[in-house]
Amino acid sequence: MFALRQKQTFKFTKYCLDQTKVANCNCCYSMYFLIDEVALLSIYNAYRESVCLTVFNSTNQQVSPITVNRFKKAMSTELLVLLVIAVCVAYWLVRRVKSDNSSPLQLDVTQPVLPSPTQTRSEIDPFLQQVVFDKAHIDETVITAVLQHTRELEQRFSGDVKHVKLKEQLSQFARMNELDVALIALWEEIEHYPTWSSQDDFDTCNKLNLIGIDGSSEGDANSVEFMRGAQRFKVTKRIWSGKEELKADLSFFEDDNEVFAIECLVNSGNESAHHICQRISAFKKRGNWPKVLLEYYGQLKIEKDKYLDDIKYFRAGDIKSHFEE
C-alpha cells in the first residue's frame, strides 16, 4: 500500500511539472530531481522498517505495537510531506511561467525611440519635408479644380450626361474586346483588294475569301466594299492632317449604316501605313458587325502565325549543319 501511494505521488508531481511548460528547463528538472531524492530516501526508510517487521514475523516473535505505530506514523508523515512539497513546487512554477509569458509584452518606456533604418530622408530633412507638403497641396488643388470643371460641364449639358457616360462605357468595351484593332487589321488587309481583284492570281492574295469586292476613291477618302452572305459591308478611310501629324478616320458600315468608327494616328512607312487607334468615334449596339470584325481578325491572326512558323522552319534541313550541340 505504501509503494502504491508513493507511485501515485510521483505521477502527480510529474504531471504538475509537465503542465507548467516552463521556459527555464534546468530549474524545473533540478526541482524534480530534488523531490526524487526525498522520495527515494523515504522509500528506503520505509523498506527498512518493513524488513524489521518481516524478521520479527519470521521468527514467530510478537511485533510490539510501538514498532507498528512507528512504521505507520513514518509512512503517513513522509507521504504528507511529499504531497505538500509537490503542490508548492507546482504552484511556484506556474507563477513563474505566467510571469515569463507576460514580460515580453511589457514595453520599456524609458528606452528612446530611434529613427527606423528604412526611414526616408524626406521625413527628417526640413527642406524635403516642405517639398513633399507642397506637392501634396498642389495635387489636391488639381483634383479639386478638375472635379469642379466636370461638375460645371455636367450642369451645362445636363441633358447629354447619360450619352457621355454611354460613350465612355462603349469605348472601353470596344478596346477591351479589340474591336478597334480588328478594324485596323481588316483595313490594312483589304485596302488594295479592289486593285488586286483584276489580277489572275488574286485568289492567292484573298486571304479572307471575300466576294463582291468593289472600291472607290475620292480625294482623301477611300472605301472598300464586299459581300458576306446577303449583307454588304464597307470600310472607309478619310485622311486629314492634325498638328504636325497625319490622322485618319476609319469607319465600318453594315448595309450602308455606320456602326463603328475610330480615329487613328497614321505612321507612314516605306511599304505600308500603320494605324494606331486614339479614340472611338462611333459604336452602334445593333446588327452583327462585331462578330464579322472579330471573325476576320481571327483569320488574319491565323495566317500571320502560320507565316511566322513557315519562316521558322524555312530550310530546316540546313539548320543542323549550322547549329550543333
Residue by residue, DSSP assigns 164-223 as HHHHHHHHHHHHHTTHHHHHHHHHHHHTTHHHHTTSTTHHHH-TT--EEEEEEEETTEEE
3-state helix, strand, coil in the chain (%, to 5): 60, 20, 20
d(CA 266, CA 161): 31
pLDDT in tens, 146-202: 999 988 887 887 777 788 889 999 999 999 999 999 999 999 999 999 999 888 888
C-alpha cell at position 209: 475569301
d(CA 261, CA 248): 11
pLDDT in tens, 52-90: 444 344 444 444 544 545 545 555 666 677 777 877 777
Domain boundaries, the chain: 2-102, 166-312
C-alpha cell at position 123: 521625413
DSSP state of 110: T
Q: pTM for the complete prediction?
A: 0.53
pLDDT in tens, 255-314: 999 999 999 998 876 555 588 999 999 999 999 999 999 999 999 999 888 888 878 777
Residue 47 binned pLDDT confidence (cut-offs 50, 70, 90) = very low
Beta strands at 221-228 and 257-268: parallel, antiparallel or unpaired: unpaired
Quote the pLDDT of residue 1: 47
Place of cell 507548467: 20
Beta bridge partner(s), residue 217: 222
Closest CA to 290 of 173, 179, 208, 185: 179
Residue type at 286 in one-letter notation: R
Beta bridge partner(s), residue 240: 247
Give the residue ranges of DSSP H helices in the chain.
2-20, 25-58, 65-102, 126-156, 161-176, 179-190, 193-196, 202-205, 289-312, 316-322
Quote the pLDDT of residue 226: 95
Residue 51 binned pLDDT confidence (cut-offs 50, 70, 90) = very low
Percentage of residues of the chain with pLDDT beyond 90: 36
C-alpha cell at position 116: 527606423
Residue 28 binned pLDDT confidence (cut-offs 50, 70, 90) = very low
C-alpha cell at position 176: 477591351
Place of cell 527498512: 48
The answer on pLDDT for 101 being more than 70 is no
Residues 6+ away with beta carbon under 8 Å from 124: 115
